[in-house]
A = this chain, B = another copy of it.
Amino acid sequence: MNKIKRVLIAGGTHGNELNGIYAVRKYERRPELIHRPSFETLTVLGNPRAIEAGVRYIDKDLNRCFDIPEGKETDLDYEVRRAREIKNQFGQAGQTPVDFAIDQHGTDSNAGLMLILDNLDCFTLKLAAYLSYRQPELKVYSSAASGRSQDSLRSIARYGVGIEVGPVAHGTLHAELFQKTEVLVCAILDYLEQYNSNTVSLEETSLTVYQHANAVDYPKGKNGEIQAMIHPRLQFKDYEALNPGDPMFLTFDGDAIAYQGSTTVYPIFINEAAYYEKGIAMYLTQKQQFQVS
């Protein structure tokens, strides 16, 4: 068993997601809250210039920059340079390599309290099961099939999870979700402490995982202009079943556009502001049960 020697808690990877930024500042002010005997806990504010400007990013989404090779025209982008800086500090070949990374995010979609897993290995599934037991409202999303396992900040660590909370408007703080995130972060640290001392006690349990299937864009015209909005019956209905024929979008003239798929799916990140420019109206997921023991 490889013990966890160093943990990284990140916030502000997107500069307008305030909850994570203020959480990191709190932990820097009160390091005793994240101290655990068997490992070192570090913190980082991902994107200082974007935080200063109150925007998601300056040149490029930092959380998509961790797998960009050197020697391209993107070398001039602030976030590409910042990603290398972070990797040189905390990556596996860095100065203080971290074994586990927690990256805190916020979304205006109705994410509630979401844990994002990039891999479904046993270590990660057991952690997720433990956390779900501690906070039953926790939703677990696996991005394993999204092709995003290497470009995010958390990917620089041996293990990593993302935390998404919502709905919280970008550029705002949300007290209730701030406190729930803090409970979740502490539970992760507690688990890692137990893992290191081989004292994890977990009964066999069923874990629900929302597995990434694909992304859906807004209906668009020839000029690329959006032609329909999220249907009112789907707005804020993250994690709920969307069945073939259910209304998905509503045109500006009031016509419903139905979901055309052949199977039931569970949309998440519905109507996230930052995803408009990426051409993503929502992610569709499949709901799966894992037996974890």
Chain B residues in 8 Å Cβ range of A174: 229-230, 235, 271
Docked-complex contact A252 and B22, CB < 8 angstroms: yes
State the CA gap A30–B21 with chains docked (Å): 45
State the CA gap A253–B23 with chains docked (Å): 10
Chain B residues in 8 Å Cβ range of A22: 226, 229, 252
Docked-complex contact A175 and B277, CB < 8 angstroms: no
State the CA gap A271–B167 with chains docked (Å): 13
Docked-complex contact B176 and A232, CB < 8 angstroms: yes
Docked-complex contact B252 and A26, CB < 8 angstroms: yes
Tell me if A94 counts as interface (CB < 8 A to partner B): no
Tell me if A290 counts as interface (CB < 8 A to partner B): no
Of B30, B173, B232, which one neighbours A175 at CB under 8 angstroms? B232
Of B26, B172, B179, B225, which one neighbours A108 at CB under 8 angstroms? B172
Of B178, B235, B250, B274, which one neighbours A171 at CB under 8 angstroms? B274
Tell me if A258 counts as interface (CB < 8 A to partner B): no
Tell me if A169 counts as interface (CB < 8 A to partner B): yes
Of B170, B271, B274, which one neighbours A273 at CB under 8 angstroms? B170
Tell me if A37 counts as interface (CB < 8 A to partner B): no
**0 or 1 for each of A264-290: is its CB under 8 Å from B? (1 = yes):** 000000011110110000000000000
Chain B residues in 8 Å Cβ range of A23: 252
Q: How many copies does the complex hold?
A: 2
State the CA gap A235–B231 with chains docked (Å): 25
Chain B residues in 8 Å Cβ range of A26: 252-253
State the CA gap A225–B25 with chains docked (Å): 11
CB distance from A40 to the nearest CB of B (A): 23
Tell me if A224 counts as interface (CB < 8 A to partner B): no
Chain B residues in 8 Å Cβ range of A175: 229-232, 235, 250
Tell me if A147 counts as interface (CB < 8 A to partner B): no
- Across the interface, name the chain B residue whose C-beta is closest to A218: B173
8 Å CB interface, A171-198 against B: 171-176, 178-179
Chain B residues in 8 Å Cβ range of A271: 169, 172-174
Q: A176-B232, A176-B235, A235-B176 are in contact. Are A171 and B254 (CB under 8 A)?
A: no
CB distance from A88 to the nearest CB of B (A): 29
- Across the interface, name the chain B residue whose C-beta is closest to A171: B273
Chain B residues in 8 Å Cβ range of A172: 108, 271-273, 276
CB distance from A19 to the nearest CB of B (A): 9
CB distance from A147 to the nearest CB of B (A): 24
**Nearest 7 CB-CB pairings of A with B:** A171-B273, A108-B169, A175-B229, A173-B229, A176-B232, A175-B250, A26-B252
